Amino acid sequence: MLNLLNPTYPSTFTFLGNGYWDKTFTDVGYTFFKSQVFSFSHLIEGPGSSYGGAVWNGFTVCNSGDNENHNAHGWIGNYEWGCMAGGGIKTDAEGNVMVDENGEVVVQKGLPYLVGYWNYMIEPEWWEMFGEWSPLDEPTHCFQILLDDDEEYEAVGMYVNIHPWTYYSNLYGSGPARPLNQEGDYFKLIIHGYNPDGSESGKSVEFFFAKFESGQLTQNTKWTWVDLSSLGEIGGLYCTMATTVANSGGPVAPMYFCMDKLQVRTKEENPIIVPVTNIINVPDSTLAGVPLTLTGTVVPENATNKTIIWSVVSAETTGATITGNIFNASDSGMAVVRATIINGLAEGEDYNQDFDIKVTEKEVIIIDENELSSIQIYSYQNSIYIKPLHAKPLQSAEILDMTGRLVYQTLINSNETVITPPIPSGHYFVKLISQKNRILTTKVTLIHP
């Protein structure tokens, strides 16, 4: 795994005041820099490509953790060195990536990470238009990651993070770049594989840092794991980028990204197992007689094995059973269930975690004339109808499928008939809550004509 605290060439990274490597603008002697088995391209066009120390491209190393908006100050030279996550990735004494209780990567300002700036003009796609300006005689890839050639390697994955200039440009625009505000807009990274002989494998993995869909811009500001295992055996990697903020001369958005903790493994090694540290977001309550779908979020997100097998540890008075991931209990009380992930800690070592589930007896109301009388519930065509005949006897209604999954929910503000949107044929639970917070649950079968 990449560890920029212990580089090979140079033997240490010296950082200037703004938090970037002091050789960032040096185009002699550092066409590649190396850490562990990885060699990263830097000013790959060689001598003269920095134009006297004025520009840089490819990869460099930074530790500023700056994630502020510097559109008003100008980014180039002064503020190119940040990452939106706020710092590099923290590891424990064994070198494992640390995560918090929510499964998010722990970051620390001052820890090093890679910043990449893509000079697309030297790429094969753009060489015909811009190649005459390059010191090179033929096109190449700006972002290259080469591996020691004395081993056979397979790709595992890496962490990436959106660069602050890109993030704020997507929000507000920057220079010639418009905001990322049109339907279908995107900003993405493409990671390609080299074969062991140095040829391009044709395999790639895409990661979207930002998308504008359904009228909304979403951007990923946290260190995020990208699984590269589909690239298989590799002799190295190269990266390209793409965005819809472009013109006939290429992208006009700031083409930066951040990267850290790249992982590969040798072919003879056992597969690297990233251990499970926690399972969160497991439901903790249900009603007796109402099926509950057991789900959980495995932490960390890049854990190697994430399939959860559920079992009952203690049913107590509930009569709890589990079929697949469906929990059923016939009576009230407290049940304990276990989540097991096979090989969740290591090869041959499972991860187990127990959870309490409180089962409450559902309140089935005998309909009386004062509260829930004369409520008609029936199915017709593709919908379920709930028709209260008295003024405002109910406050809400829910439709659940037989696994306990919520299909439809609505507030009821009058005695008008509630008609669900079209739903598939099947059996459903109808859960009604009265103005006095009493619950009526009944079952309805919907058959499409």
Does 340 map to a domain?
Answer: yes
Task: Give the residue from 49, 248, 42 showing the smallest Cα distance to 143.
Answer: 42
pLDDT value, residue 254: 96
Q: Are residues 40 and 162 in the same domain?
A: yes
Domain boundary (216, 232, 266) is at: 266
Token readout for 147 is 């591996």
Q: What is the pLDDT of residues 291-344, one digit of tens each?
A: 889 999 998 888 889 999 999 999 999 999 999 999 999 888 999 999 999 999
Q: Are residues 82 and 222 in the same domain?
A: yes
pLDDT value, residue 366: 39
Does 13 map to a domain?
Answer: no
Q: Are residues 218 and 352 in the same domain?
A: no
Q: Are residues 312 and 408 in the same domain?
A: no
What's the pLDDT band for 374 if we cut at 50, 70, 90?
Answer: low
Q: Are residues 69 and 199 in the same domain?
A: yes
pLDDT value, residue 57: 95
Q: Are residues 283 and 422 in the same domain?
A: no
Q: Are residues 243 and 141 in the same domain?
A: yes
Domain boundary (266, 293, 321) is at: 266
Residues 286-313: b if buried by 16+ CB within 10 A, e if exposed: bbbbbbbbbebebbbbbbbbbebebebe
How would you class 414 by CB atoms within 10 Å of its CB: exposed for 0-12, middle for 13-18, buried for 19 or more?
exposed
pLDDT value, residue 269: 66
pLDDT value, residue 169: 97
> How many angstroms separate the CA atoms of 100 and 241, rounded?
30
180 and 187 Cβ atoms separated by less than 8 Å: yes
Does 152 map to a domain?
Answer: yes
Q: What is the pLDDT of residues 389-442, one digit of tens each?
A: 766 667 888 898 877 788 898 888 777 788 888 888 888 888 888 777 777 777
Q: Are residues 157 and 194 in the same domain?
A: yes
Contacts of residues 52-55 at CB distance under 8 Å and 24 or more positions apart, as own/partner, are 53/25, 53/26, 54/25, 55/25
* Residue 369 clears pLDDT 70, i.e. is over it: no
Does 9 map to a domain?
Answer: no
CATH number of the domain encompassing residue 218: 2.60.120.1350
Domain span including residue 430: 375-446
Q: Are residues 337 and 382 in the same domain?
A: no
Q: What is the pLDDT of residues 67-94, one digit of tens each?
A: 999 998 889 988 999 999 999 999 988 8
For 231-241, what is the mean pLDDT?
96
Mean predicted lDDT score pLDDT of the chain: 89
φ/ψ region of 73 (left if φ > 0, alpha if ψ in -120 to 50, else beta) reads alpha
Does 330 map to a domain?
Answer: yes
Task: Give the residue from 184, 138, 190 showing the smallest Cα distance to 160.
Answer: 190
What's the pLDDT band for 15 if we cut at 50, 70, 90?
Answer: very high
CATH number of the domain encompassing residue 316: 2.60.40.1080
User: Strand 285-287 and strand 349-360: pairing?
Assistant: parallel
Q: Are residues 99 and 130 in the same domain?
A: yes
Query: Which residue intervals of 111-219 are DSSP H helices?
Result: 127-130, 164-172
Q: What is the pLDDT of residues 128-172, one digit of tens each?
A: 999 888 888 899 999 999 998 778 899 999 999 999 999 999 999
Domain boundary (360, 394, 417) is at: 360
* Residue 362 clears pLDDT 60, i.e. is over it: no
Element (H, E) at 440: strand 439-446
Residues 2-20: b if buried by 16+ CB within 10 A, e if exposed: bebeebeebeebebeeebb
Does 144 map to a domain?
Answer: yes
> How many angstroms separate the CA atoms of 215 and 294, rounded?
33
- Please name the amino acid found at residue 409: Q
Does 365 map to a domain?
Answer: no
How crowded is residue 198: how many other Cβ atoms within 10 Å of its Cβ? 10
* Residue 367 clears pLDDT 80, i.e. is over it: no
Written as one string, the DSSP assignment of 7-40 is -SBSSS--B-TTSBBTTTT--SS-SEEEETTEEE
Instruction: Count structural domains, the chain.
Output: 3
* Residue 237 clears pLDDT 80, i.e. is over it: yes
The model carries a pTM of 0.69
